[in-house]
Structure 1
Amino acid sequence: MNMTNSNFSLILTAYGPPGPLNYGVFLVTLVLYLATVFSNLTLMLVILFDPSLHKPMYIFLFNLAIDGLIGSSVVCPVIMQYLLEDLKTMSLTSCLLQVFFINVYGSWVYAMLTVMAYDRYVCICKPLQYHSIMTPTKVRLLLGVVYIFPLCSFAVQVCLTSRLPMCKYTMNKLFCDNLAVVNLACIKPALDNVYGLLLFVMFAVLPLLLVVLSYIRILIVSTKASENAKTKALKICAPHLITFINFSSAIFFSIVFNRFNDYVPNEINVFISLHVFMSPPLLHPLIYGIRTQEIRKSITKILRRNVFALDFQPA
């Protein structure tokens, strides 16, 4: 039976009733979320207060941390709330807003990692031209494209989905995604499918190809360089490459899982859903903090100056 969308509410069935399992997942989610917020804020403050890190690479990394905070904050508080509630209902409007920010988060991170790969390509393959290519104006332009284009693109997608008449109201999900909402509709319009495929190509396939091409070019240049240059290139690229592989694998498993989540145990449902929004935002600042020498030095300098320094001067 067709239902009007004005007062339409969805029921998320993946949680189960409150109990020991839900409380355990709540505690793990809370700890990981707090650790994610702390690690990203720490990285942002280190970059903000150290003038030596006010360079394109670290400006992009600062924005990557912002994206991580947005992604985890869109999903984790809602998951923790529903883990403790008996009835897991969400209005269609709230669900579509969550869909919008989830998709924007994923596209922002992938686009930012693509821009960072371009920055690494220029740094290694065109070192003498780096400062003339990666100018402040170009950095601002790249950031503008990274943020504005996905916002507009996914706003259109959410608008198209919101116009669909709904006939079902239950989803075996911890949170909303566009495909799950479309599957609740009475009709399956071709326009939504075509537009969704176009967005997938623009914000998943194209960034992947650009990053791969960047690293192929870096690899070609590195093979012709000296051993010291190869080692330096590896140190420069390793944090970004690890981060990109980590996020790409999370997105890949999420996409595959979304197609088959009705056929897997609920425990795997919970793990995969949390992994996409907890693992990358938590690991990315840790990877850069451990693997990037400049950030390690900045953290050490800040700790020595503000935490471990003692003032023994008499009053």
Structure 2
Amino acid sequence: MLNLTLSTSSYFILGSYVHIGSLKYLYFMLTAMLYIVIFIVNISLIVVICMNRSLHEPMYLFLCSLFVNELYGSTGLFPFLLVQILSDIHTVSAPLCFLQIFCVYTYVNIEICNLAVMSYDRYLAIYCPLQYNTLMTFNKAVIFIAVIWFYSFVKFLITLSLNIRLTFCGNVINSVICHNYLVVKLACSDTRVNNIYGLFGTVLSILVPLLPIIFSYMEIFKVCFSGCKQTRQKAVSTCTPHLASLLNFSFGCCFEIIQSRFDMTSVPRLLRIILSLYFAIIQPLLNPIMFGLQMSKIRNTCKRVFCYKMLTRHKDTM
């Protein structure tokens, strides 16, 4: 059993918040509206994919997993931010801090692994379209998704168990959310196991998804350069939203890593906060918009559902 009382401090102080006076209510409303929009667009696309049998294909299953992960990551972040924005004392209990670390880090790992599997799926669809339905079946897609989520949860359960055993000599985290690297830095007990596992986990988190992404896009580019115009158009239409999502998420993670590990005092604090949360705020908003607009099947299904509801309401009022 894990002992939650080993740390010398029962709470942490988030040191990156500033006193904003009555502006906190404006920030609260803007953050709440953003969370509501993210929740509505993601849950809408999940319902559309689940309810429409024509969308029960591997590509849309991976998209559904992506949208579920956006909801999961946003729920692990936004309610916490909303409470902290309204609070004058920016503290968080140790168990809640560890829980947020677990949620945010599993969200990141699931996101990048999901995008990696989607790149492989696009490679199969473009490189060998005639064998695609045999190589990527519905059951295989489900197995891929289950492995991604299980692997991510197990990986960071180990991180959580290593963090809980630490004894802390400080409790000020220079961030607006709980951050694993910054929490471990506060420990005065032996952190060698944490550091070794953290380095090993980081390498895994980068290499495991990066290898299939590089391989898939190298093969896709080969097909594009050697194939006909129709093949190139298909590759561009199916890969553009995926590439945009992948690059956006990668840049967001880079922003967060840079601001947490290097001295960024020369950068305005508000900009540092936005950059540190970019990966968890913009990605859940960008993905459903990009994929929803780009994928014709999803777009047409949404139109049919919306038109049907409008017609039903019109008949009821007559």
Aligning the two structures, in what range does the TM-score lie when normalised by the shorter sequence?
Answer: over 0.9
- Structure 1 runs (4+) deviating above 4 angstroms are 309-315
The residue that corresponds to 1:306 in the other structure is 309
- The 8 Å contact of residues 107 and 204 in structure 1, kept in 2 or not, is answered as no
| Displacement of 1:87 | 1.3
| Displacement of 1:267 | 1.0
CA distance, structure 2, for counterparts of residue 243 and residue 176 of structure 1: 25
Equivalent residue letter for 1:247: F
- The 8 Å contact of residues 239 and 288 in structure 1, kept in 2 or not, is answered as yes
The residue that corresponds to 1:120 in the other structure is 122
The residue that corresponds to 1:251 in the other structure is 253
Worse-matched range after superposition: 249-258 or 199-208: 199-208
CA distance, structure 2, for counterparts of residue 20 and residue 55 of structure 1: 49
The residue that corresponds to 2:243 in the other structure is 241
The residue that corresponds to 2:153 in the other structure is 151
CA distance, structure 1, for counterparts of residue 15 and residue 127 of structure 2: 51
| Displacement of 1:313 | 9.2
- The 8 Å contact of residues 15 and 22 in structure 1, kept in 2 or not, is answered as no
The residue that corresponds to 1:217 in the other structure is 219
Which string of whole-angstrom CA distances, capped at 9 and with x for unpartnered residues, describes residues 172-204 of structure 1? 211101101001111452221121111111122
CA distance, structure 2, for counterparts of residue 24 and residue 311 of structure 1: 37
Equivalent residue letter for 1:280: Q
| Displacement of 1:22 | 2.8
| Displacement of 1:251 | 1.0
The residue that corresponds to 2:10 in the other structure is 8
CA distance, structure 1, for counterparts of residue 264 and residue 178 of structure 2: 14
User: Are residues 1:265 and 2:268 paired?
Assistant: yes
Which of 200, 204, 216 is the aligned partner of 1:202?
204
Aligned pairs (5 A) from 1:67-146 = 67-146=69-148
Which of 285, 289, 292 is the aligned partner of 1:286?
289
CA distance, structure 1, for counterparts of residue 134 and residue 57 of structure 2: 13
Equivalent residue letter for 2:282: S
- The 8 Å contact of residues 104 and 151 in structure 1, kept in 2 or not, is answered as yes
CA distance, structure 2, for counterparts of residue 153 and residue 292 of structure 1: 32
Task: State percent identity of aligned pairs.
Answer: 32
The alignment covers a number of residue pairs equal to: 313
Unmatched 5+ stretches in structure 2:
none
User: Which SS does the other structure have where 1:11 is aligned?
Assistant: strand
- The 8 Å contact of residues 36 and 281 in structure 1, kept in 2 or not, is answered as yes
CA distance, structure 1, for counterparts of residue 314 and residue 74 of structure 2: 39
Which string of whole-angstrom CA distances, capped at 9 and with x for unpartnered residues, describes residues 147-169 of structure 1? 00111111111111111110001
Which of 260, 275, 286 is the aligned partner of 2:278?
275
- The 8 Å contact of residues 14 and 269 in structure 1, kept in 2 or not, is answered as no
CA distance, structure 2, for counterparts of residue 190 and residue 149 of structure 1: 23
| Displacement of 1:310 | 5.8
Worse-matched range after superposition: 130-139 or 177-186: 130-139
| Displacement of 1:18 | 5.0
CA distance, structure 1, for counterparts of residue 200 and residue 25 of structure 2: 40
CA distance, structure 2, for counterparts of residue 98 and residue 112 of structure 1: 21
CA distance, structure 1, for counterparts of residue 115 and residue 301 of structure 2: 22
Distance verdict in 2 for CA 1:304–1:189, change over 3 Å: same
Unmatched 5+ stretches in structure 1:
none
Distance verdict in 2 for CA 1:6–1:20, change over 3 Å: same
User: Which SS does the other structure have where 2:80 is aligned?
Assistant: helix
The residue that corresponds to 2:163 in the other structure is 161
Distance verdict in 2 for CA 1:273–1:308, change over 3 Å: farther
| Displacement of 1:93 | 1.3
Distance verdict in 2 for CA 1:105–1:312, change over 3 Å: closer
Task: Give the structure-1-normalised TM-score.
Answer: 0.93
User: Which SS does the other structure have where 1:175 is aligned?
Assistant: coil
Worse-matched range after superposition: 196-205 or 61-70: 196-205
The residue that corresponds to 2:68 in the other structure is 66
Equivalent residue letter for 1:224: S
Task: Give the structure-2-normalised TM-score.
Answer: 0.93
Worse-matched range after superposition: 7-16 or 276-285: 7-16
Aligned pairs (5 A) from 1:37-56 = 37-56=39-58
